[in-house]
Amino acid sequence: MDHILSGIKPTGQLTLGNYIGAINKFVKLQDKGESFLFIADLHALTLPIDPEVLRTNSRDLAAFYLAAGLDPNKSNIFLQSDVSAHAELAIILQNYLYMGELSRMTQFKDKSSKMKEEAIGLGLFAYPVLMAADIVLYDSKVIPVGEDQIQHVELTRDLVKRFNNRYGDVLVMPRAEVAKVGARIMSLSDPTKKMSKSDPKGDIYLKDEPAVIRKKIMSAVTDMEAHVHYDPEKQPGISNLMTIMSSLTGKSFEEIEKEFEGKGYGDFKRAVADIVCSEMENLQKRYKEVIESGLVDKVLEKGAKRANEVASKVLERVQKAVGLYHK
């Protein structure tokens, strides 16, 4: 059975981008293999975060995984920090990734561009090293991610090639699995920018009240073309709303264009808002049930136990390969 691996950082409130680009994809894949889905709390430390906020976000993220339909009997849900092999392996792997390639990573450039050099933590720079450790630790072949994380998975592939050339067949080669539609949901207030939980502008949050979601969608930035047509270059705002609609309903762009032929943006936005609100209402209802059930801690404990089982074996394989003493 293939292993599937992914994670989300508990850096802030989850967005519709995280839901469509990542969580929904995890749910669809969970029957295709054994999933290892973690809450990337170590990664969340790469930018300043309040300890209480981090704890709350981590619990929330686990609850949303369950609310979205991940079955703890099929998928292992756990905290990254509960499996110490992540940190141990990262210390080894950092020697096989180079400063030049790390400094070319878009995420690092984006997140550090507004910071003074003295304030940029080493962890932010070394983020892809820890991510490579996350990925190879479960011998996982399939890595479901949004578009922005493809570059890090590609870097992990380079690392696996480099490492295996030197030490033999030690690490399994992963590949990014990206949704055809919805791998990059854009901000509603600036549709040329990705929706990101650490950048609150133009986000829809999974915890937003339906009335708030409706208002955000109704005031989403569009254009003067006045017809519902998929063209991300010329009509990025409308194309983004079409992507959201298509991801949540399975309708193709052609079907949506046909449905709204001759209709105004107001009608179209109202239809998008109806779909998103109904999806979020269901999700929020299940989220509340999960929180009230007290299931989260049990799921995280069970997930960490199984994750440790798999990860410790892979870590030992790597330690042996590089010559660290092992009986």
d(CA 305, CA 83): 9
The residues in 101-140 that bind ligand ATP, with binding defined as CB under 6 A, are: none
Tell me, by CB under 6 A, how many residues bind ligand ATP.
22
Q: Does 8 bind ligand ATP (CB under 6 A)?
A: yes
d(CA 47, CA 124): 7
Spell out, one character per residue from 141 to 170, where the chain touches ligand ATP: x when CB under 6 A holds, - when not: ----xx-xx---------------------
Separation in Å, CA 213 to CA 203, 209, 227, 281? 9, 6, 23, 11
Q: Does 9 bind ligand ATP (CB under 6 A)?
A: yes
Binding residue (CB under 6 A) for ligand ATP from 196, 239, 246, 247: 196
**Residue closer to ligand ATP, measured from CB, 107 or 312:** 107
**C-alpha neighbours within 13 Å on the C-beta side of residue 181:** 16
**Residue closer to ligand ATP, measured from CB, 44 or 97:** 44
Contacts with 104 (C-beta within 8 Å, 6 or more apart), sequence order: none
Q: Does 188 bind ligand ATP (CB under 6 A)?
A: no
CB 5 within 8 A of CB 140: yes
Binding residue (CB under 6 A) for ligand ATP from 5, 22, 39, 171: 22
Q: How far is the CB of 189 from ligand ATP (least distance, A)?
A: 13
Q: Does 3 bind ligand ATP (CB under 6 A)?
A: no
Q: What are the b/e assignments for 45-57, b being 16+ CB within 10 Å?
A: bbbebeeeebeeb
Q: How far is the CB of 2 from ligand ATP (least distance, A)?
A: 18
Q: Does 190 bind ligand ATP (CB under 6 A)?
A: no
- Please give the positions annotated as active site: 111, 194, 197
**Residue closer to ligand ATP, measured from CB, 9 or 214:** 9
**Residue closer to ligand ATP, measured from CB, 82 or 199:** 199
CB 268 within 8 A of CB 228: yes
CB 71 within 8 A of CB 41: no
Binding piece for ligand ATP, criterion CB under 6 A, among 126-134, 183-191, 233-241, 257-265 = 183-191
Task: Take residue 276 and report the two structure tokens written for it.
Answer: 């998103």
Q: Using alpha carbons, select from 321, 200, 229, 217 the residue that is nearest to residue 276.
A: 217
CB 48 within 8 A of CB 65: no
